Copies of this chain bind each other. A is one copy, B any other.
Amino acid sequence: MLLQLDFSTTTPIYQQIRDQIVQGIAKGELKPGERLPTVRTLASECGINIMTASKAYQLLKQEGHTRGDRRGGTFVCKPEGDLSPDSSIIEALRLHLAELIVGGMSNEDVLTLCKHLLDDVSSQKNGSLL
């Protein structure tokens, strides 16, 4: 699980970390119960401030993607009760679909693109276990 950080983008670093870990969970690269590196390790490996790494972990915990352990580690966990998709995600999705449409793609093109992205995003999760 290697993080690819882009320091030139407008997306905050802590957000990039959080996003990539979420995608890792979706793909199945990070499995429930798995332990994440410590904030110190993560920070020194990525060349970022400890506060930044900490903020990313805070966010993940708050969202229910991870949970702390009594002895101090951070572990991936299955979120529960999150069955109603966050409306902000829906709105973001709606916007990005609109951007593709405006960019000249047809509805069909966009749908097949979504299908491919979905296959990519959830490959191991749905595939290796069947």
Interface residues of A in 72-103 (CB under 8 A from B): 79, 82-83, 85-86, 89-90, 92-103
User: Is A105 engaged at the interface, CB distance under 8 Å to the other chain?
Assistant: yes
Contact call A98/B13, Cβ cutoff below 8 A = no
A120:B101 contact, CB within 8 angstroms = no
* Range for the number of chain A residues in contact with chain B: 35 or more
Question: A50 at the A/B interface (Cβ < 8 Å)?
Answer: no
Bitwise interface map of A from 1 to 13 toward B, beta carbon under 8 Å scored 1, else 0? 0000001110011
Contact indicator per residue, chain A 57-68, by CB within 8 Å of chain B (1) or not (0):
000001001011
- The answer to whether A22 and B114 have CB atoms under 8 Å apart is no
Mask: chain A, 116-130; 1 = CB below 8 Å from B; 0 = not:
011111100110000
